[in-house]
């Protein structure tokens, strides 16, 4: 798809940057729930992310000597699947955060590499290596260990419900990443950067049209509330666009299975945020689970 020879480790750099930016965006969205509700906090990352994505593309067109990729109907269709699944995944994630801690919710969503691996085999005919498969299994075991309810929860019905919602979020993120990857494969360009950004813009545009149409018809009061909270929403939108830009740069040059497995570094990032901002602490099981996640990442990078 691309003529430029890229360093083999570049996708990992993009992924770590994206994970850090996404952790910051998730924390900002969590804070917005109190003022605009779960739905409003879900929508702001898309509505306020689109203007920044347009700025990114304009800057790239000035700096990159390559034509703008023209999307095909197939690319637009797969981008639409990725976009709508991403909205649903984000909504599930924020609902889950109301029932469990910030860091544990992020861990739930990180079951997505398994979904992506299966979808990549079926749709993209991209079979993961044995080392990548081992990394997915080890890291996912860590995620499951982190999802164990705390002793204070007892049978843990509220915790179990939050866990299931978090797992649904991870599955939707998996479908979303695969949809975007297929959309990118269908774009013809000598610049992986432009391919990534055009795909991001397609997704954000579809999301914004759908969200604005829904709010205009069904919940104008929420739309007004989002507009009134434009300042914190603008920052969340910027961080969301920044994270998405780097996710898509990584997707454009390697299999999304590898990207989303390495993305498990977001769990330690989330733990830092959880301790410093939300004053939430980890249990022994969560610490052991994080260790397995790190081990999985090490396997992935050495595969």
Confidence of residue 108 (pLDDT cuts 50, 70, 90): low
Confidence of residue 156 (pLDDT cuts 50, 70, 90): very low
Q: With 60 as the cut, is the pLDDT of residue 1 above it?
A: no
> Distance of CA 250 to CAs 99, 150, 172, 258, 296, Å?
32, 35, 19, 9, 19
All structural domains of the chain with their residue ranges = 10-301
- Note the maximum CA span of the chain: 60
Residue 158: the pLDDT is 43
pLDDT digits (tens, 9 = 90+) for 165-184: 777 888 898 889 889 989 99
Output the six-digit token pair for 221. Answer: 């009061």
Apex CA 297: angle with CA 296 and CA 300, to 5°?
90
Residue 3: the pLDDT is 43
Q: Cα(106)–Cα(146) distance, rounded to whole angstroms? A: 10
Residue 93: the pLDDT is 77
Mean pLDDT calculated for residue range 281-290: 72
Q: With 70 as the cut, is the pLDDT of residue 153 above it?
A: no
The pTM (predicted TM-score) of the whole model is 0.77
């Amino acid at each position: 798809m691309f003529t430029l020879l890229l360093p083999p480790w570049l996708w990992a750099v993009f992924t770590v940057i994206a994970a850090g930016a996404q952790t910051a965006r998730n924390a900002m969205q969590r804070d917005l729930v109190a003022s605009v509700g779960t739905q409003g906090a879900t929508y702001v990352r898309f509505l306020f992310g689109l203007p920044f994505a347009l700025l990114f593309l304009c800057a790239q067109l000035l700096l990159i000597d390559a034509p703008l990729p023209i999307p095909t109907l197939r690319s637009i269709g797969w981008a639409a699947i990725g976009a709508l699944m991403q909205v649903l995944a984000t909504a599930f994630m924020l609902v889950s955060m109301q029932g469990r801690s910030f860091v544990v919710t992020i861990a739930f969503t990180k079951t997505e590499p398994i979904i992506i691996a299966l979808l990549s085999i079926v749709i993209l005919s991209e079979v993961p290596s044995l080392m990548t498969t081992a990394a997915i299994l080890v890291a996912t075991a860590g995620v499951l260990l982190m999802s164990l309810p705390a002793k204070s929860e007892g049978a843990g019905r509220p915790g179990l419900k939050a866990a299931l919602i978090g797992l649904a979020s991870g599955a939707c993120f998996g479908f979303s990443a695969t949809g975007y990857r297929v959309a990118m494969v269908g774009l013809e360009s000598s610049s992986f950067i432009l391919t990534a950004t055009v795909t991001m813009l397609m997704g954000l545009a579809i999301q914004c049209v759908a969200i604005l149409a829904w709010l205009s018809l069904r919940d104008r009061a929420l739309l007004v509330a989002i507009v009134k909270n434009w300042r914190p929403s603008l920052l969340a939108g910027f961080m969301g666009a920044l994270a998405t830009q780097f996710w898509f740069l990584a997707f454009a040059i390697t299999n999304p299975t590898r990207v989303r497995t390495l993305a498990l570094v977001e769990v330690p990032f989330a733990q830092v945020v959880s301790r410093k901002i939300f004053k939430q602490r980890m249990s022994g099981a969560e610490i052991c689970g994080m260790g397995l996640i790190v081990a999985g990442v090490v396997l992935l990078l050495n595969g």
